[in-house]
Amino acid sequence: MSKAKPRAARSSARHDTKIVATLSRQLVVDDGCGFEGKSLRRMVPFAELFADDEDVASKVEERA
């Protein structure tokens, strides 16, 4: 049996969902497809993990 999330966590999750949806709509208008909500939700952990652009570039170069 799973425990219900606290009210604050549910509220925060709904808020995050709204932010992603709003951002997605604007990015699709400005930059085209590829920025749908599902894609943005996958981009967030990547951006958090590789916040420094140089880290990403060096990792790509290592694999090439």
- pLDDT value for 3: 65
The whole-angstrom separation of Cα 21 and Cα 45 is 17
- Residue 51 φ then ψ, to 5°: -65, -25
- pLDDT value for 60: 77
- pLDDT value for 47: 84
For the entire predicted model, the pTM comes to 0.57
- pLDDT value for 28: 92
CB 23 within 8 A of CB 40: yes
Instruction: For the chain, list residues with pLDDT below 70.
Output: 1-6, 8-9
11 token code pair: 């509220």
Of the candidates 17, 39, 13, the one whose C-alpha atom is nearest the C-alpha of residue 28 is 39
CA quadruple 21, 36, 53, 62: dihedral sign: positive
